[in-house]
Structures are given as C-alpha cells and as structure tokens.
Amino acid sequence: MDTVHYISSDVFSLELLEEIISQNKTLDLSEEARVNVEKCRTYLDNKMQSHGEPIYGINTGFGSLCNIKISNENLTRLQENLVKSHACGTGDEVPQEIVKIMLLLKIKSLSYGHSGVQLQTVERLIEFYNNDIFPVVYTQGSLGASGDLAPLAHLSLPLIGEGEVYVDGFRQPAKKVLEKMGWNPIELQSKEGLALLNGTQFMSSYGCYVLLKAMKFSYLADVIGAISLEGFDGRIEPFNELIHMVRPHKGQINTAKRFQELLEDSEIIAQPKQHVQDPYSFRCIPQVHGASKDTIDYVKKVFKTEINSVTDNPNIFVGEDLIISGGNFHGQPLALALDFLGIALAELGSISERRTYQLISGLRDLPPFLVSNPGLNSGFMIPQYTAASIVSQNKQLATPSSIDSIVSSNGQEDHVSMGANAATKCLKIMENLERILAIELMNASQAIEFRRPLKSSEFLETFIKSFREEVPLVDEDRILHYDIEKSIAFLNSLQLDSEVLE
C-alpha cells in the first residue's frame, strides 16, 4: 500500500480525502506541483523588480486600505502584520480532525501555482501535516467572504513562529515546537500572507468532514429505519419499485431498493398485516430519506469543485503575464450548499424521531413505552423527549446562514456569505442526527423483540446482535443516558464499505 499521497493537479475527491486520512498517509508535492509553485514565485519576484505600480495585496494595504502603497523594503513586515492582525478568532477550538483537513486543503490550493507563495512555505505546511502538528484554530471569526480570514490566520501563525499548536495531544507555543524540530520561522515574502489567509479552507474542511459523516449516517438511517419498520410490523408495499419508477428521483429509487435488500427473507415483513397503511414516517421513507440523499449528492459536487480550486486573491497567471484581483475567496457556493446539507440532515432526524414516537405509543401489540410491566417501569418514555428536544434544536440550527450579510471593512466588503457560520452549524446538526438515530436504534431494537419468535432478515438480525453486545435489552428501568452514549459510540465505530455509501 502506498503510504504517501503526492499533491498534484489530479482531481481530488472526497473518497480520496477519506482514504488519505483513514490510512494516515503522509503528503509530498509532486514534481509538477513543485515546478508550478516555484515558477509562480519567480514570476512574482521578477514582476516586483520591474513593476512600480500598486498591485493589490502585494504592495498595498488590505481591504479598504487597498489604495495605500507599501514600499518594497516593508513587504515582509506587511505580510507578517497581516497574519498577526487577522488572528482574531474566538469561541470553541476547531476539532483537530478538521484542522488536519484544513492543512491538506490549503496545501492543495497553493500547489496549483496561482498564489505566489514560496516553495518552503508549502513544504512547511506539509511538515506540520506529516508530523501531526495542528495549529490552534477557533470556530468564530470568519464572515466567509474574504476567505476564512481569522481561522486561516490562526492556521498560519505557526509558520512565522507565532500562535499555538497541538503536538501529541499537548497544547504549546508554536515557537517552542519550531525550535524542537530545528525549523526556522518562515520569512513571508510579498503576497504570501494574503495567499495563506484568503481561501475557503475553513468552510471546505467542515463541509468535507460533515459530508463523510453524512454519507455514512444516511445509510445508517436506512438500516435503523428498516429495524423500526420491522418493530412496528410495517408493510413492504411502499418500497415496491413500481411506485418509484413513476416518480424517478434517484435518491427515492435507491432508498426503496435498499429497503427491499435489507428486508429480504424477513419473516416479520412477510407475515399478514392487520393494517392497510403505515404512518408517513414509515410509508414515506423513500421520499424523505431519498430527498436527503439527493441533497448530499448535490453538496458533494459543490465541494468536489471547491477542493480542486484556487480560492485566494489576487490570482497570478504566469503564462498570460497577468495578476488579477477578483473574488474567488467568496464563500457563497459553500454557504448555500452547507445550509442545504444542514436542512437535509435535520430532516433525517425529524422523521427518525417520529418513528421513535410511533414505536412507544402502545400500537400494534407493542406495550406502551416498549417495556414489560409499564407503570412500574417508564421504559422508553423519556428518550423520545430527548430526541424531540434535539430535533427541535436542529430546526433552529437549520435556519440558513447564507441569507444573512453584514457590511465590513468600511464598506469595501459589502456582501459576505456567512458560510463559516453555516459550516459550524452544519456540524452541530450532524452530531445531533447521530444522537437521534442512536435513540431510534434503541427503540427499534427493543420493539423487534416483541415480534419474536419471528425473525427479521439475516442482515438486520446480525446488526441487532452486534448492537446487543454493547447495549442489552431493557427488562426494567435503568439509567438510559449510558445506553444512549453507548448507542452513539456503536454507530460511530461502524466501518462501512464504500460501495454501500453510493
């Protein structure tokens, strides 16, 4: 197995990102990337020697200070001042798993040779990545418009020996770590600070991280929904492909097909039913889960484009002898996609909680709250409250960030995406979905025991058996907080083949 991933212009996918992270591959620049970075830097150095006019961000101030020209002897100080002054993050720390993706995506974006950075700057970022040196980055501070300025400033501080990093789980000054590794701080050249701070890597990294989880939990929502259907003694007819071929949304068709496969040879689904129809939370699973699948597919396409892009400003085009100031750092494509993804994930949680509610309602020969001797035992009464509370929070979190904008930088930056807020909200929605589905699994696996001696399909019985090794059947009341936490851990521990995530 190749243990090194070479950064190049080859198309980068979410699946490749997951492979690099999960297999703990190290990074290196391809020869193509080295040539592109050095060629662009040489061009910029030569341009600065021969060009006396102001070029935004290279020999000018930033934002609304763009009309102030900076002398050549102050260009390093200009770039270092930029990084220091923009490190204004606050709030919670960004999880280290996401910081690692931020490093990877920043390296990838700079490698195309349109940003004007020094080769040693990119190589130092690679050394941080390969040695698990993770800068301390904060969740709050980015408007998602001039790039993720504040978060990327914190990501970049250690390059110049400033800020703090995590190494081996310990937080310490970056300067101390550089000394220990025998590295000198990078002396930033013209344009470099701006290249590091402009970009969408905060939003992109959150989006990639959530998408990888979303694909997994979209599949698990189907599996858990199928167990609930069995526990509720539901009908198979709503999953007949003929229904879905006359309304052929891809996600809807795939969901119905998956349920047919999950329930194949189930004795429970095959038994005669006393009821003509199921409630919508069961009957409309293909339509609801399928719509979320289609949303995930759309958002994947947006982020695939983004992580294969150059998102700083200005952009340097060596072949055309042009340095062009534009707006590739604006996060609007990501903000809209993250909001859409958050809504889709919230809906998976919403319909899950409704299935949980149906299961505890004392219907279809199930005891109230899924426990023997109800009254003395409250059983699964309160986990549904918990799920309902989380679902309600997700509704609040799913309010779009991208519809908001606040003017900044003296009116120069008069429209912003708020994509960073969309990103952090989306992760919270994703984490909430994990909890909601864990609670549904607790209820569904309990309900199915009341269908014995009939069995479900071989796959679902195996899944339930694995779950029971972590969370035993509830015979009488106990502290269910621990069961919820174990259920969440069980779902997160599952490793799924890439084929089932298609």
Task: Return the sign of the alpha-carbon dihedral for residues 248, 254, 260, 261.
Answer: positive
Examine residue 99 and state whether it is found in any structural domain, yes or no.
Answer: yes
Q: In terms of domains, do 240 and 371 share one?
A: yes
Which residue did the predictor score with more confidence, 51 or 322? 322
Is residue 69 very low, low, confident or very high in pLDDT (cuts 50, 70, 90)? low
Q: In terms of domains, do 259 and 177 share one?
A: no
Whether the CB-CB separation of 350 and 329 falls below 8 Å is answered with no
DSSP string, 301-326: HHHHHHTTS--SSSEEETTTTEEE--
Residue holding tokens 């042009």? Answer: 322
Q: In terms of domains, do 362 and 247 share one?
A: yes
Examine residue 224 and state whether it is found in any structural domain, yes or no.
Answer: yes
pLDDT for position 64: 57
Q: In terms of domains, do 167 and 218 share one?
A: no
Active site residues: 56
Is residue 497 very low, low, confident or very high in pLDDT (cuts 50, 70, 90)? confident
Whether the CB-CB separation of 442 and 471 falls below 8 Å is answered with yes
Return d(Cα 376, Cα 398) in angstroms, integer.
39
In angstroms, what CA-CA distances link 385 with 232, 356, 380, 392? Answer: 19, 10, 9, 11
pLDDT for position 61: 62
Whether the CB-CB separation of 80 and 106 falls below 8 Å is answered with no
pLDDT for position 40: 97
Examine residue 321 and state whether it is found in any structural domain, yes or no.
Answer: no
State both tokens at 248. 């052929």
Residue holding tokens 């050394």? Answer: 127
Q: In terms of domains, do 375 and 250 share one?
A: yes
Mean pLDDT over 125-154 rounds to 95
Examine residue 131 and state whether it is found in any structural domain, yes or no.
Answer: yes
Is residue 271 very low, low, confident or very high in pLDDT (cuts 50, 70, 90)? very high
Examine residue 363 and state whether it is found in any structural domain, yes or no.
Answer: yes
Return d(Cα 346, Cα 178) in angstroms, integer.
43
Q: In terms of domains, do 286 and 391 share one?
A: yes
Is residue 162 very low, low, confident or very high in pLDDT (cuts 50, 70, 90)? very high
Examine residue 316 and state whether it is found in any structural domain, yes or no.
Answer: no
Q: In terms of domains, do 102 and 240 share one?
A: no
State both tokens at 16. 């490749």
Q: In terms of domains, do 167 and 280 share one?
A: no
Tell me the per-residue pLDDT of 361-406, one tens digit each, with 9 for 90 and over. Answer: 999 999 999 998 888 899 999 999 999 999 999 999 999 999 998 8
Average pLDDT, the chain: 94
Q: How far separated are the first and last CA of the chain, in Å rounded?
A: 24
The rounded radius of gyration (Å) of the Cα atoms in the chain is 26
The secondary element (H helix, E strand) that includes residue 44 is helix 31-50
pLDDT for position 48: 81
Query: Could you list the residue range(s) of the whole structural domain that residue 426 is in?
Result: 206-311+327-404+413-500
Examine residue 233 and state whether it is found in any structural domain, yes or no.
Answer: yes
488 Cβ contact partners less than 8 Å away, ≥ 6 residues apart: 434, 435, 438
Q: Could you tell me what percent of the chain has a pLDDT over 90?
A: 85
Q: In terms of domains, do 158 and 278 share one?
A: no
Examine residue 258 and state whether it is found in any structural domain, yes or no.
Answer: yes
What CATH number has the domain bearing residue 186?
A: 1.10.275.10
**Last residue of some domain: 163, 198, 233?**
198
**Last residue of some domain: 198, 222, 243?**
198
**Last residue of some domain: 156, 181, 198?**
198
Structural domains counted in the chain:
2
Question: Given a cut of 80, is residue 498 above it in pLDDT?
Answer: no
Q: In terms of domains, do 166 and 273 share one?
A: no
Out of 61-70, 302-311, 389-398, least confident range = 61-70
- State the Cα torsion 166-168-172-174 to the nearest 10°: -60
Q: In terms of domains, do 107 and 234 share one?
A: no
Mean pLDDT over 493-498 rounds to 88
Is residue 66 very low, low, confident or very high in pLDDT (cuts 50, 70, 90)? low
What CATH number has the domain bearing residue 365?
A: 1.20.200.10
Q: How many CB atoms lie within 10 A of CB 304?
A: 18
Q: In terms of domains, do 419 and 287 share one?
A: yes
